[in-house]
Copies of this chain bind each other. A is one copy, B any other.
Amino acid sequence: MLNQRGNGTSHSAPVRVVVDAMGGDYAPHEIVQGAVQALDRGNVAIALVGDQGPVEAELARYNVAGKPIKVVPSVGKIGDDEHPVQAMRQKRQASIVVATQVLKSGAADALVSLGSTGASMACATMLLGLMEGLERPCIGGPFLGLAPRTVLVDLGSNVDCRPSLLLSFAALGSVFARKFLNIENPRIGLLSVGAEDAKGNRQVQESLRLFRESHLNFVGNVEGNDFFADRADVVVCDGFVGNILLKYTEGLGSALLPYLQKQLAHLLPPQVVQRIGNEVWQMTNLPRTMGGPLFGVNGTVVVGHGSSKAAGVAGAIGTAMRCVEIGLVEGMRQELAALAKGAGAGQQPHPRGG
CB < 8 Å neighbour of A243 from B224, B238, B239, B243: B224
Give the Cβ gap from A346 to chain B, nearest Cβ, in Å: 26
Q: Which of A226, A241, A244, A280 has the most chain B CB within a 10 Å cutoff?
A: A244
Tell me the bound Cα distance from A159 to B249 in angstroms.
22
| A191 surroundings in chain B (CB, below 8 A) | 244
B159 and A240 contact, CB distance less than 8 A = no
A244 and B223 contact, CB distance less than 8 A = yes
B263 and A202 contact, CB distance less than 8 A = no
Tell me the bound Cα distance from A157 to B201 in angstroms.
9
A263 and B276 contact, CB distance less than 8 A = yes
A252 and B251 contact, CB distance less than 8 A = no
Tell me the bound Cα distance from A283 to B259 in angstroms.
11
Interface residues of A in 214-263 (CB under 8 A from B): 223-229, 238-241, 243-252, 254-256, 259-260, 263
| A250 surroundings in chain B (CB, below 8 A) | 224-225
Interface class of chain A by DSSP = helix
B240 and A200 contact, CB distance less than 8 A = yes
Tell me the bound Cα distance from A225 to B305 in angstroms.
14
Interface residues of A in 158-178 (CB under 8 A from B): 159-160
Give the Cβ gap from A23 to chain B, nearest Cβ, in Å: 18
| A64 surroundings in chain B (CB, below 8 A) | none
Give the Cβ gap from A82 to chain B, nearest Cβ, in Å: 12
Tell me the bound Cα distance from A167 to B254 in angstroms.
30
B226 and A251 contact, CB distance less than 8 A = yes
Q: Does A199 touch B at the CB level, under 8 Å?
A: yes
- Given A245-B244, A279-B263, A159 and B251 touching (CB < 8 A)? no
A224 and B248 contact, CB distance less than 8 A = yes
B238 and A159 contact, CB distance less than 8 A = no
Q: Does A193 touch B at the CB level, under 8 Å?
A: yes
Give the Cβ gap from A254 to chain B, nearest Cβ, in Å: 7
A: number of interface residues (CB 8 Å)? 49
A201 and B238 contact, CB distance less than 8 A = yes
Tell me the bound Cα distance from A138 to B6 in angstroms.
56
Tell me the bound Cα distance from A268 to B263 in angstroms.
12
A157 and B239 contact, CB distance less than 8 A = no
Give the Cβ gap from A303 to chain B, nearest Cβ, in Å: 15
Give the Cβ gap from A133 to chain B, nearest Cβ, in Å: 24
Q: Which of A191, A201, A248, A264 has the most chain B CB within a 10 Å cutoff?
A: A248
Q: Does A194 touch B at the CB level, under 8 Å?
A: yes
Q: Does A107 touch B at the CB level, under 8 Å?
A: no
- Given A223-B244, A225-B248, A251-B229, A157 and B263 touching (CB < 8 A)? no
- Given A244-B223, A244-B245, A199 and B251 touching (CB < 8 A)? no
Tell me the bound Cα distance from A241 to B244 in angstroms.
9
Tell me the bound Cα distance from A252 to B253 in angstroms.
10
B243 and A193 contact, CB distance less than 8 A = yes
| A259 surroundings in chain B (CB, below 8 A) | 146, 283
Tell me the bound Cα distance from A42 to B197 in angstroms.
43
4 smallest CB-CB distances across A and B, nearest first, come from A224-B247, A225-B251, A224-B248, A159-B201
A-B contact pairs, 18 of them (CB 8 A): A146-B256, A159-B202, A160-B202, A192-B240, A193-B243, A223-B244, A224-B245, A224-B247, A224-B248, A225-B248, A228-B254, A228-B255, A245-B248, A256-B280, A263-B279, A267-B267, A267-B268, A268-B268
